[in-house]
């Protein structure tokens, strides 16, 4: 598989690179790239940082907050974590979700894909991934915990109602796995990264990027992904709220009504879907809540039925 090279560690730049790889690079076959972030909390497209992140701790420690272009939950990154992205034409991405578990098994890790978006090793999570569609192209990206600082991870994500609870570091250690434990043949993260790169490339060449490509990523990092509006102000304030857990994850809808029709709509949560939920939110404006009982929402919320979706507006 052809690959891109991305050696940046700035979280906002890397979020911009992901979106550009999906929407701006025209490669007729799937390609991949490995990348890392300096200490950061990356929230899902539909999440509120105020509900998911210990913001005072981030400020105290100089940890960056960044919002990605895919759904799912908040994750902590540092240089002990290796990230991967796989992008390609939708028609050729059918088996893309199996690429990383299979690669880990070839390196000697007993990895398996479980649940809606986890890669597990002996009952512990070593990776989570998310996806997005853009026209006829698809991207999946995820984490690979090599030697992540679990103490910092716990404190950065420790807010009321989060998956990282007050049970603390002992609880986290029992539920997650650093891959370093399973790959003693690699003395460092760089050795692991090199081995994984060679395995995934399997002799294929690098897909070159031009100066114009990098200028475009720089611009998006500066004008979109590094802004307060994107990272904090993404969801509007609304007057009604309902939160429920479904197969796709937790979905919270915030909405206001005027004259019996939806005036403002926003979705938050760690749910997974192929398309940005803000598209659906925009399309719902002007509709009556009772019109939602037959609406096909599978493109935005994996596996969610129309009655389940409509139930969010019954509160």
Domains defined along the chain, listed by start: 2-231 (3.30.930.10), 240-311 (3.30.390.50)
Eight-class DSSP state of 139? E
- Partnered with residue 250 across adjacent β-strands are 245
Q: Rounded to the nearest 5 degrees, what angle is found at the Cα of 144, between the Cα atoms of 138 and 147? A: 160
Give the number of other CB atoms < 10 A from CB of residue 201.
15
Nearest to 194 by CA among 130, 113, 108, 107: 107
DSSP H/E element including 191: helix 189-201
Per-residue buried b or exposed e for 83-108, using 16+ beta carbons within 10 Å of the residue's own CB: bbbbbbeeeebeebbebbbebbeebe
Long-range contacts of 220-223 (CB under 8 A, 24+ apart): 220/16, 220/19, 220/20, 221/10, 221/12, 221/13, 221/15, 221/16, 221/17
Average pLDDT, the chain: 90
Those residues whose C-beta lies under 8 Å from the C-beta of residue 273, and which sit 6 or more positions away, are 71, 248, 298, 299, 300, 301, 302
> Alpha-carbon Rg of the chain, whole angstroms?
20
What is the longest distance spanned by two Cα atoms in the chain?
66
Separation between Cα atoms, residue 63 and residue 41, nearest integer Å: 7
Is residue 46 a contact partner of residue 17, using CB atoms and an 8 Å limit? no
Low-confidence ranges of the chain (pLDDT < 70): 159-174, 234-238, 315
Supply 291's token pair: 């019109």
Separation between Cα atoms, residue 287 and residue 274, nearest integer Å: 23
Those residues whose C-beta lies under 8 Å from the C-beta of residue 80, and which sit 6 or more positions away, are 145, 146, 147, 148, 149, 178, 189
Those residues whose C-beta lies under 8 Å from the C-beta of residue 155, and which sit 6 or more positions away, are 54, 57
Q: Sheet containing 81-89: which strands, arranged edge to edge? A: 2-3, 31-35, 81-89, 137-145, 124-134, 118-121, 111-114
Separation between Cα atoms, residue 238 and residue 224, nearest integer Å: 23
pLDDT at 236: 57
pLDDT at 50: 77
pLDDT at 235: 58
């Amino acid at each position: 598989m052809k690959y891109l090279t991305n050696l940046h560690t700035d979280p906002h730049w890397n979020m911009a690179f992901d979106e550009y790889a999906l929407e701006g690079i025209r490669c007729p076959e799937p390609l991949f790239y490995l990348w890392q972030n300096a200490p950061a909390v990356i929230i899902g497209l539909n999440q509120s940082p105020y509900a998911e992140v210990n913001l005072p701790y981030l400020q105290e420690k100089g940890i960056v907050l960044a919002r990605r272009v895919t759904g799912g939950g908040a994750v902590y990154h540092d240089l002990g974590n290796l990230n991967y992205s796989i992008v390609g034409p939708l028609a050729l991405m059918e088996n893309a979700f199996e690429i990383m578990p299979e690669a880990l098994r070839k390196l000697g890790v007993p990895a398996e894909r479980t649940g809606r978006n986890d890669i597990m090793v002996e009952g512990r999570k070593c990776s989570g991934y998310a996806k997005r569609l853009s026209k006829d192209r698809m991207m999946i990206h995820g984490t690979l915990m090599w030697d992540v600082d679990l103490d910092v991870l716990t404190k950065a994500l420790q807010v009321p109602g989060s998956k990282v609870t007050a049970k603390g570091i002992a609880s986290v250690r029992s539920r997650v796995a650093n891959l370093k434990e399973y790959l003693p043949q690699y003395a460092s993260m760089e050795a692991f990264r090199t081995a994984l790169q060679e395995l995934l490339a399997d002799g294929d060449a690098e897909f070159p990027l031009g100066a114009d490509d990098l200028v475009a990523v720089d611009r998006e990092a500066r004008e979109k992904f590094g802004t307060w509006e994107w990272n904090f102000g993404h969801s509007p304030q609304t007057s009604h709220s309902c939160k429920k857990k479904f197969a796709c994850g937790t979905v919270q809808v915030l909405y206001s009504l005027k004259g019996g029709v939806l005036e403002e709509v926003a979705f938050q949560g760690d749910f997974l879907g192929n398309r940005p939920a803000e598209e659906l939110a925009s399309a719902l404006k002007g509709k009556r809540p009772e019109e939602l009982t037959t609406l096909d929402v599978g493109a935005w919320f994996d596996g969610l039925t129309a009655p389940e979706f409509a139930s969010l507006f019954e509160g």
